[in-house]
A = this chain, B = another copy of it.
Amino acid sequence: MIDIFPEIRAMALAAPAPSAPARPVATAVDDAFVAALVQLLGDRVSTAQAVREQHGRDESYHDVEAPDVVVFPETTEEVAEVVKLCAAHAVPIIPFGTGTSLEGGVAATRGGVCIDVSRMNQILRVSTDDLDVTVQAGVTRKQLNEHLKTTGLFFPIDPGADASLGGMAATRASGTNAVRYGTMRENVLSLTVVMPDGRIVKTARRARKSSAGYDLTRLFVGSEGTLCVITEVTLRLYGVPEAISAAVCPFETLEGAVRTVIQTIQMGIPVARVELLDELSVKAVNAYSKLDNPVQPTLFFEFHGTEAGVVEQAEMVQAIAGEHGGGDFRFATLAEDRNALWQARHNAYYASLRLKPGSKGWPTDVCVPISQLADAILETRKDLESSSLMAPMVGHVGDGNFHLVFLVDPENPDDLKEAQRLNDRLVERALAFGGTCTGEHGVGLGKRDFLIAEHGEAISVMRQLKQALDPQGIMNPGKVLRP
């Protein structure tokens, strides 16, 4: 394998400082500026150190980089006023949902104003007739589904964390249900956003399709706060399926599990979820959630459909698994059993961190065409076997998407260097297989250099767009594209 990321390796070798370096406060954020924010939002403005640090941190190994001030607007109009003030003083703006990002997306690399949308938590309208909903950006996916409980509808996108829907749109999130229902790309019908100069823009109407002009909705989905602040999101909803069943199946080998997934997808069986956990992840999940799954590579499935359809799907997948060393299917058809199963899966990240007490997680994900998934996973497995680092693997494998969590001591340069080396090789391999450097975590700070290898000349187009829409470079500076 050729070394295509020498610059990244060089950076890793330069041994990152164990804590964030002292960063001067952005010059424009002085007492008068904060007073102007207070004028707009009253007591919904904070410069307390604990609040600032909490907002400069995500759930990964990235250094805490605190903003100078955190604001808590409640409406699109308030966001627009804050943005206008920032624009007038060239102060950076960092949108913040629940802080569950994994690539340093909320780090305030140049200080500035963190716009925390957690108080924008209103569900503005639900249309059961049109199967759609409009929410403020701070509404979380669990809050939405709780609200929908009596309607017979649900919102399927589920990245594990109880993230805000604005944040999920901003990172183009997906997760376990994407194999059946798509990602935020397919499920956001429209956005209300505040542009870097304070203009309020609605990107589209509620019609299911449109050919009326440029697709601003999808330009902003996945833009990670670097082009605008997302304040409202209109989403597709789906009818709760007549029948749902979930099942767990252990495999003799990792390859058998992956081949089962590939064949399931290639046969067009409409599984709603198909998740891979390697032995190490199963071990972690068992310990964390007090379960007794056999410590083997394991697939978690969920089937949605009519009563007959769900049985039919499960039987077809069982037959495929049987050809690839799959053991018995353990089914969970009761809602509470299914919930326990998926909660255990969702806790895999936190469970992994317990495998090495005191460690931090360096999570990474790639996505490849399904035909390449077995090679991509098995070659990665070989890398891990010869490494000093522990790195459980999980995956939304029906999409060709899988994750590693490198368990690192952030104060140990060797750990960081080794994680960087493995991550380089993972991404390099994914790109060689026609895949992408991130299926769903986003670019943030952590994957910027990979973008160049992935996109080539397209990066120059992305830079043109960034320059056109945010000429001052105040929107979430340093993320996605290197300044």
Chain A residues at the B interface, C-beta cutoff of 8 Å: 127, 129-132, 171-174, 178, 182-183, 185-186, 195, 199-216, 218-219, 221-223, 227, 238-239, 262, 266-268, 306, 308-309, 312, 367-371, 399-401, 430-431, 434-443, 447, 450-451, 454-462, 464-465, 467-469, 480-481
Contact = CB atoms under 8 A, between A and B. Distances in A.
A207 B457 contact: no
Contacts of A308: 308
Contacts of A216: 458, 461-462
A461 B451 contact: no
Given A171-B211, A211-B441, A219-B214, A205 B431 contact: yes
A373 to B, nearest CB: 10
A345 to B, nearest CB: 19
A206 B464 contact: no
Contact of A211 (B195, B440, B456, B465): B440
Sort A-B residue pairs by CB-CB distance and give the 3 closest, nearest first: A468-B468, A129-B371, A218-B218
**Which of A213, A218, A223 has the most B CB atoms < 10 Å from its CB?**
A213
Nearest to A464: B468
Contacts of A481: 213
A465 B462 contact: no
Nearest to A262: B129
A178 B211 CA distance: 13
Nearest to A462: B214
A108 to B, nearest CB: 21
B219 A223 contact: no
Contacts of A132: 369
A227 B464 CA distance: 12
Given A130-B370, A369-B130, A212 B401 contact: no
A141 to B, nearest CB: 17
Contacts of A219: 214-215, 218-219, 465
Contacts of A442: 211
27 contacts: A127-B369, A131-B266, A171-B211, A172-B210, A199-B457, A200-B457, A201-B457, A207-B369, A207-B436, A208-B401, A209-B367, A209-B439, A210-B367, A210-B439, A211-B222, A211-B438, A211-B439, A212-B436, A212-B451, A213-B458, A213-B481, A214-B223, A214-B462, A214-B480, A461-B469, A464-B469, A468-B468
Nearest to A173: B211
Nearest to A268: B239
A173 B209 CA distance: 10
Contact of A210 (B202, B436, B480): B436
B399 A209 contact: yes
Given A199-B460, A451-B213, A457-B201, A434 B468 contact: no
B371 A127 contact: yes
Nearest to A481: B213
Nearest to A179: B208
Given A172-B215, A211-B442, 5 more contacts: A185-B218, A201-B458, A207-B369, A207-B439, A208-B370
A284 B368 CA distance: 49
**Which of A127, A215, A367, A461 has the most B CB atoms < 10 Å from its CB?**
A461
A437 B211 CA distance: 8
Given A435-B206, A462-B213, A130 B239 contact: no
Contact of A434 (B201, B206, B222): B206
A429 to B, nearest CB: 13
A214 B414 CA distance: 33
A203 B65 CA distance: 32
Contacts of A462: 213-214, 216
Nearest to A182: B186
Contacts of A205: 431, 434-436, 454
Nearest to A459: B213
A211 B367 CA distance: 10
